[in-house]
Amino acid sequence: METMTVQAVYKKGVLKPVKKLNLPENSLVVVRVTPARKAKKDLPFASLIGVWEYLPEVEKTALGKSVRAARKRSASKVKRIAKRLK
């Protein structure tokens, strides 16, 4: 079985996943509980706060590299455009 990260709501002593899990009934799982941060609605992209928090470290590292590469490409494009406009 593959490892997955899901959000759940704790109510009346029970954790209930927000989305349906692809697991057979009565499956034994290990649960690591990390309280989710609430997004401040007045911030742009507030719903993205903490989205990487529950990912395995390998995925966080890969996503971080991808974001840095995309930012570097974007910065290069902005510099080229700025030079053309001068």
CA 81 – CA 79 distance, rounded (Å): 5
Residue 42: per-residue pLDDT = 62
DSSP secondary structure string, the chain?
A: -------EEEETTEEEESS-----TT--------PPPPPPTTSTTGGGTTTTTTS-HHHHHHHHHHHHHHHHHHHHHHHHHHHHH-
pLDDT at 36 over 80: no
Residue 25: per-residue pLDDT = 93
Band (pLDDT 50/70/90 cuts) for residue 43 is: low
Q: What is the mean pLDDT of residues 28-46?
A: 74
Q: What is the mean pLDDT of residues 28-43?
A: 76
pLDDT at 21 over 80: yes
pTM beyond cutoff 0.85: no
